[in-house]
């Protein structure tokens, strides 16, 4: 079983926890990339409460102290939209190549 190395916590404007995800990746940049990818899915993209996502390092799988990164939720949504547009272009190109 993989060990948790990071936890990301979605928070609303009153600093209440809305959602969280556990991660077993080694680098913070991977977590950010996966968060952006995650928000291309409607269930996450349509979140109206979240204003920020805090990412904590959990070296022993449990403890978290100060956030390693605090991401503005608008940034995540904007990057997710860009990623979705890129993926849609790739799909369209494949369709043209395969005459679909």
Q: pLDDT for 30-45, tens place per residue?
A: 999 999 998 888 888 7
Out of 6-10, 21-25, 90-94, 95-99, least confident range:
95-99
Query: How far apart (Å, rounded) are the C-alpha atoms in residues 88 and 72?
Result: 25
Q: How many CA atoms lie within 13 A of 72 on its CB side?
A: 4
pTM for the full model? 0.78
The first and second tokens of residue 15, run together, are 């600093």
- In the chain, what are the domain boundaries? 6-97
φ/ψ (deg, to 5) at 16: -85, 145
From edge to edge, which strands make up the β-sheet containing 52-57?
17-23, 6-11, 52-57, 69-72
């Amino acid at each position: 079983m993989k060990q948790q190395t990071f936890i990301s916590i979605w928070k609303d404007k009153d600093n209440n926890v809305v959602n969280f995800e556990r991660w077993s990746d080694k680098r913070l940049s991977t977590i950010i990339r996966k968060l952006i990818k995650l928000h291309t899915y409607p269930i996450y993209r349509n979140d109206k409460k979240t204003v920020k996502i805090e990412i904590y390092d959990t070296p022993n799988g449990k403890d978290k102290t100060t956030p390693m990164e605090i991401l503005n939720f608008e940034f995540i949504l904007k990057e997710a939209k860009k990623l979705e547009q890129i993926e849609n272009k790739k799909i369209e190109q494949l369709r043209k190549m395969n005459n679909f």
